[in-house]
């Protein structure tokens, strides 16, 4: 007999690792909705159609952890085995003999399943019936299979057959009798391309030139030019920083800064600008200290390991250590592989075939990663001196000379102290301030003339040495993996994720689903790659992991990355859940296209800019965003890409665009972060109001938003209003909300009123007529000429404000410029 559900319980470490049940419900609901809404009807798929139903209603009590009444849906063999009561939950091909159907349709309180909570919907029951009737095929999930090598289809539309992307999309549209939208006009396309590649608007002059360009290849030329812009790396580097949850402070109560964190940010921006092959980009971040050629750049890349939150006084240090490792596994698994390995921290993964041993075998790759620091030393673990040998020699010689001078001066001081009264002698043994006071007052009285002359000479030499040292170029320090844990550390599976309950020992290995076999280690370890400044050797394990993730035949790496590139061009990925390619993720809408793109990506050397060109030069990318009744009826979610999805500007794009259109944007690339001007009320929101927030120059405060200091406990209000992500967690795709806080920020904040004044000044409102104010403002903000109706409305607004609100005409014109920066045309990309 099947037993009632038991309440799901977990310990604190389990909660910290994975709120499984909540995530399971949400994920299953999303997957179930997507499954029901799929446009083209095909054979029922276990992974996308059936697994979410079992996960939502059955797996808590019936596999993999629990097998109540001998029933488990963990795998095909268990699901079709005889139960304790002698019947069979699933009999392939025989719905009537399958006890599962009888239980989920029963009205008997002692028989029905699930016994509590939501019953299965009629559509879910029908899916189960049809699946069993078709033979209950337990298909292997698509993402865990090797990439296929599909050929682009042949289509009967010449314009849609030139680019293979278009052929795949056109074919899928044809299967449901949908017609793709026509091409967008050039005004729309230049704005779309500029924002997608640089995150900045084109100038009015650039818009005019593009529209007037007679070259039929003008769009391709524009894309190439934008890919060469240094602002391309700023835009696409920000996408990557979301994935690795970039922050420049430690979080928790003190939320102290992470010195030199900005250099990792600049490394990411440079990597995109230089079109670094993606496989190299992966290797440098995961094992930049263990590569055959270790450079300042590759060491900076290991700042990846220092981006997470860090508790400087944890109540349970061991728990904190494993929480930090879990963050690495979560980020690495989801960002690089699109896999929620972290869900197996406390138990076997409930949905994907990832046992708990896989989690700890993955953790073993990171065992030599030290904590960010500890209370007694918050520097040596994460700050790497990458200065030149010549500069280090100069500093070393200066240090030796200082030690010599200090030693000789102290000998003379002690000789004088010996002649002082006992009370003064004791005073010199206390704090340094007291010692200096006594020496200043009495030392000269207790030295011989010869000692005084020598002491004065030593003091002069010390001053000169200090000045010489200060004139040296500063040491070059980067944040990264500076210190290792000794290789004697062993890795154990932790019972229920509890670090104080180690169970079986494991060694590094790759998840079983990849079928790559056991990892061969040389005497338990891999070849050493590097020794840190403290004599500890790296294990080489992270190099092995990086090489495996970045190899050409990895089943997920290329798929995941091309899906991300597609996501940021088309508004969503071919797989919408871009951090989760597992069974709880959404299935790809165009699986053959995804595999074709991934293989092209590899074939052309993991070249990201080539992927941009391929996607942006497609007809699919250049369609209008207009809706049609036919499209809305047959494919309301635009799963088949019959139109382009318009989008709201991101948080950074909003702020940067405002600065760009009023002419105050500082376009300097790279360098230390700056501090935005924040109100006292915002600064008061911390445990120590204003602590850790600097005061940058006005010119620096006009830099792009990617360079704003990311303090975890004090995020910039205008960015958070427009959905800036939580830097404590990996972010696959930002929420795009429309909520009152955005309107308030763009109407009432000190920032927007200051920018409106700058915009008004840039259009010279005091020297021109009202209608010219309107024309100039719309041209600057929207990159086009104003219509007659807009000119009339704008003039009416300025005149009404001046006449009825008792404000002068200049202020009224400023408020008009502010209003234009609130138009949807400015805040949305069509």
Q: Is a pLDDT exceeding 90 seen at residue 796? A: yes
List, in sequence order, the alpha helices (H) in 88-203. Answer: 99-105, 122-133, 164-174, 186-198
In-domain check, residue 495: no
Element (H, E) at 478: strand 477-479
Q: Give yes or no: residues 751 and 694 share one domain.
A: no
- Asked if pLDDT for residue 26 goes beyond 60, the answer is no
494 within domain boundaries: no
Taking 50 as the threshold, does the pLDDT of residue 4 lie above it?
no
Residue 625 domain-assigned?
no
**Do residues 711 and 784 both lie within one domain?**
no
Task: Choose one of 721, 739, 770: the last residue of a domain.
Answer: 721
Tokens of 292: 């055959």
Summarised one tens digit per residue, pLDDT across range 104-118 is 888 877 788 888 777
Last residue of a domain, one of 425, 450, 475: 475
Residues 705, 770, single domain; the answer is no
Tell me how far apart the alpha carbons of residues 581 and 620 are, in angstroms, rounded to a whole number: 24
* Residue 267 belongs to a domain: no
Which range of 11-25, 34-48, 496-510 scores highest in mean pLDDT? It is 496-510
- Say whether 312 sits in a helix, a strand or coil: coil
CA separation for the pair 46, 138 (Å, rounded): 6
Average pLDDT, the chain: 90
Residues 6+ apart with CB under 8 A from 530: 289, 290, 294, 537, 538
Residues 715 and 751 both lie in one domain: no
Residue 601 has pLDDT above 50, yes or no: yes
Q: Give yes or no: residues 22 and 97 share one domain.
A: yes
**Percentage of the chain exceeding pLDDT 70:** 93
> What spatial distance separates the first Cα and last Cα of the chain, rounded to whole Å?
58
Same domain, 68 and 16: yes
Q: Does 22 share its domain with 104?
A: yes
d(CA 68, CA 286): 42
Residue 681 lies in a domain: yes
Q: Which of 119, 138, 157 is the last residue of a domain?
A: 138
Res 521: pLDDT: 65
- Kindly report which listed range (1-15, 483-497, 598-612, 733-747) carries the lowest average pLDDT score: 1-15
Rounded CA gap, 620 and 612, in Å?
13
The pLDDT tens digits of the residues spanning 228-275 come to 999 999 999 999 999 999 999 999 989 999 999 999 999 999 999 999
CB-based burial label for 217 (10 Å; 0-12, 13-18, 19+): exposed
pLDDT tens column, 373-408: 988 888 999 999 999 999 999 999 999 999 999 999
Q: Which range marks the domain in which residue 709 is found? A: 651-721
Please give the Cα distance from 434 to 442 (Å, whole number).
Answer: 12
pLDDT given for residue 600 in this prediction: 98
In a domain, 28, yes or no: yes
Q: Could you report the per-residue pLDDT of 713-750, keeping only the tens digit for each? A: 999 999 999 999 999 999 999 999 999 999 999 999 99
**Number of separate domains in the chain:** 4
- Examine the domain organization and report whether 698 and 775 are in the same domain: no
Residue 541: CA atoms inside 13 Å, Cβ hemisphere, count? Answer: 25
Band (218; pLDDT cuts 50, 70, 90): very high
Kindly state whether residue 703 falls inside one of the protein's structural domains: yes
Cα-Cα-Cα-Cα dihedral sign, residues 577, 580, 585, 586 = positive
Question: Are both 713 and 759 inside the same structural domain?
Answer: no
Residues 702, 788 within the same domain: no
110-114, 250-254, 346-350, 568-572 — which one is most confidently predicted on average?
568-572
Residues 19 and 104 in one domain: yes
Does residue 767 share a domain with residue 703?
A: no
Residue for token digits 């673990």? 381
Contact 510, 516 (CB under 8 A): yes
297 occurs within a structural domain: no
Per-residue pLDDT, 439: 92
């Amino acid at each position: 007999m099947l037993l009632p559900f038991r309440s799901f319980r977990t310990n604190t470490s389990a909660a910290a690792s994975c709120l499984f049940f909540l995530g399971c419900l949400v994920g299953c609901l999303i997957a179930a909705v997507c499954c029901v809404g799929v446009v083209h009807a095909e054979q029922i798929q276990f992974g996308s159609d059936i697994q979410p139903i079992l996960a939502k209603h059955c797996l808590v009590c019936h596999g993999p952890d629990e097998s109540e009444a001998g029933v488990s849906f963990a795998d095909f063999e268990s699901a079709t085995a005889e139960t304790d009561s002698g019947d069979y939950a699933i009999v392939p091909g025989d719905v009537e003999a399958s006890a599962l159907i009888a239980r989920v349709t029963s009205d008997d309180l002692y028989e029905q399943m699930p016994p509590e909570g939501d019953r299965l919907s009629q559509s879910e029951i029908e899916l189960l019936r049809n699946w069993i009737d078709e033979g209950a095929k337990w298909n292997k999930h698509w993402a865990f299979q090797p990439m296929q090598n599909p050929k682009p289809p042949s289509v009967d539309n010449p314009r849609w057959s030139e680019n293979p992307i278009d052929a795949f999309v056109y074919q899928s549209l044809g299967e449901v009798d949908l017609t793709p939208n026509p091409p967008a006009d050039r005004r729309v396309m230049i704005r779309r391309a500029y924002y997608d590649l640089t995150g900045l608007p084109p100038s009015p002059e650039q818009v005019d030139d593009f529209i007037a360009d007679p070259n039929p290849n003008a769009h391709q030329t524009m894309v190439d030019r934008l890919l060469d812009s240094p602002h391309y790396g700023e835009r696409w580097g920000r996408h990557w920083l979301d994935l690795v949850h970039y922050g420049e402070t430690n979080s928790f109560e003190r939320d102290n800064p992470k010195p030199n964190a900005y250099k990792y940010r600049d490394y990411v921006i440079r990597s995109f600008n230089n079109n670094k092959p993606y496989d190299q980009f992966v290797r440098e971040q995961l094992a930049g200290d263990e590569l055959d050629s270790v450079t300042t750049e590759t060491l900076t890349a290991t700042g990846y390991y220092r981006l997470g939150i860090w508790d400087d006084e944890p109540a349970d240090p061991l728990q904190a250590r494993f929480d930090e490792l879990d963050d690495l596994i979560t980020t690495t698994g989801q960002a690089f592989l699109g896999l929620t390995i972290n869900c197996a921290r406390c138990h076997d993964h409930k949905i994907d075939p990832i046992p708990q041993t896989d989690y700890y075998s993955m953790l073993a790759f990171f065992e030599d990663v030290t904590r960010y620091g500890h209370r007694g030393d918050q520097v040596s673990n994460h700050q790497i001196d990458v200065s030149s040998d010549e500069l280090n020699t100069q500093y070393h010689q200066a240090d030796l000379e200082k030690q010599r001078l200090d030693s000789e001066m102290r000998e003379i001081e002690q000789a004088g102290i010996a002649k002082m009264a006992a009370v003064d002698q004791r005073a010199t043994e206390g704090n340094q301030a007291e010692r200096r006071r006594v020496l200043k007052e009495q030392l000269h009285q207790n030295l011989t003339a010869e000692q005084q002359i020598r002491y004065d000479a030593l003091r002069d030499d010390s001053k000169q040495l200090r000045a010489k040292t200060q004139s040296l170029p500063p040491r070059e320090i980067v944040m990264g993996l500076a210190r290792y844990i000794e290789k004697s550390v062993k890795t154990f599976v932790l019972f229920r994720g509890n670090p104080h309950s180690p169970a079986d020992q494991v060694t590094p290995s790759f998840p079983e689903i990849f079928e790559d076999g056991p990892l061969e280690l040389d005497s338990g370890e891999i070849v050493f790659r590097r020794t840190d400044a403290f004599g500890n050797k790296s294990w080489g394990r992270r190099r092995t992991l990086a090489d495996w993730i970045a190899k050409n035949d990895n089943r997920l790496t290329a798929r995941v990355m091309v899906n991300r590139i597609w996501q940021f061009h088309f508004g969503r990925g071919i797989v919408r859940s871009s951090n989760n390619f597992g069974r709880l993720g959404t299935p790809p809408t165009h699986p053959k296209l995804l595999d074709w793109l991934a293989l092209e990506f590899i074939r052309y050397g993991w070249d990201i800019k080539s992927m941009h060109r391929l996607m942006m030069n497609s007809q699919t990318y250049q369609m209008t965003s207009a809706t049609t009744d036919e499209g809305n009826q047959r494919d309301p979610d635009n799963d088949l890409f019959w139109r382009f999805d318009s989008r709201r500007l991101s948080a950074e794009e909003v702020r940067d665009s405002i600065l760009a259109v009023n002419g105050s944007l500082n376009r300097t690339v790279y360098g230390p972060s700056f501090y935005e001007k924040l109100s006292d009320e915002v600064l008061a929101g911390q445990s120590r109001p204003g602590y850790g927030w600097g005061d940058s120059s006005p010119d620096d405060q006009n830099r792009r938003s990617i360079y704003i200091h990311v303090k975890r406990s004090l995020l910039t209000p205008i960015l958070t209003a427009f959905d800036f992500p939580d830097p404590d967690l990996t972010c696959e795709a930002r929420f795009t909300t429309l909520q009152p806080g955005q309107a308030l920020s763009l109407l009432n904040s000190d920032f927007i009123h200051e920018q409106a004044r700058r915009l008004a000044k840039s259009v010279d409102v005091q020297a021109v007529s009202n209608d010219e104010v309107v024309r100039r403002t719309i041209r600057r903000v929207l990159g086009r000429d104003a219509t007659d109706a807009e000119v009339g409305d704008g003039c009416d607004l300025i005149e009404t404000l001046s006449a009825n609100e008792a404000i002068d005409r200049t202020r009224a014109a400023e408020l008009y410029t502010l209003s234009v920066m609130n138009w949807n045309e400015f805040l949305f990309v069509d």
